Amino acid sequence: MPQPRSMQSISKDTTLCISLAGRPGNFGTRFHNFLYAELGLDYVYKAFTTTDLAAAIGGVRALGIRGCAVSMPFKEACIPLLDELTPSAAAIGSVNTIVNDGGFLRAYNTDYLAVGQLIAQYQLAPETPFALRGSGGMAKAVAAAFRDAGFGRGVIVARHAEKGSALAQECGYSWQAELGEFRPELLVNVTPIGMAGGAEAERLAFKADAVEHAQLVFDVVAMPAETPLIRAARAAGKRVISGAEVASLQALEQFVLYTGVRPSPEQAARAAAFAHNTAVHNTAAHDTAAQS
């Protein structure tokens, strides 16, 4: 299995790609560097955080950094610092990928692209009623992908009334603070509920009886690979779409944008397995240390 390149193999000609996040993780670093090694590309990927977003984006432009992945809390704040929003970013007013073409910074949202691909891959019917829990930047990407795939019977479930109702209005859906008695065929979680290491790591994003009534459950949380919601859905015999699938697909689209090379499905699957397995190991080690 390829390993990330050693320091001895990095030269003045090596192309740098980075990520900017409030809390950097290792998935993207592992995924991209695995594929650079697998495909023999002279690239390297490194995760960063910053307290000065404008300076960081200026550095991307000035230093010729080829690609920059953007996570919370920078997905919207970076927009005034960029030169062009492509349709995937303009559709939702949120960015997760920046490509630097000779100092011209072009923005994309590969979360939106990945969710659209999954809707098509799983052949989800546009007439299916659904509930989407969440109102943050990722929720915008997911809701817009469903809207643009023709889904018209959606409810945004969000405790934050202003953000939830604004997202619902933008996408042509209704808003509710809680799911209430609504029991749709499709449940979508786009909140940190169920995320490893979080305050609500053991909670279900939707009540058990809502899961029982659903036909398919989609949880965007990528860590752990099997969240409490996904586990409950599988136990009830429901179809599921996991956050690991979203993370892998969006990272693959970033890779293609940065390098112009599309790995084979087998190569992409190996990169995702390597990145997820490493992330699981690191999370377990962190949790053990925190408990000691």
Catalytic residues: 75
Are residues 84 and 106 in contact, defined by beta-carbon separation less than 8 angstroms? yes
Query: Amino acid identity of 23?
Result: R
Environment class of 242 (CB within 10 Å of its CB; exposed 0-12, middle 13-18, buried 19+) = buried
Number of DSSP helices (H) and strands (E) in the chain, helices first: 10, 12
Environment class of 72 (CB within 10 Å of its CB; exposed 0-12, middle 13-18, buried 19+) = middle
CA separation, residue 157 to residues 71, 134, 168, 182 (Å): 22, 6, 9, 11
Which of these, 152, 163, 145, 133, lies nearest to 246 by C-alpha position?
A: 145
Residues belonging to the chain: 292
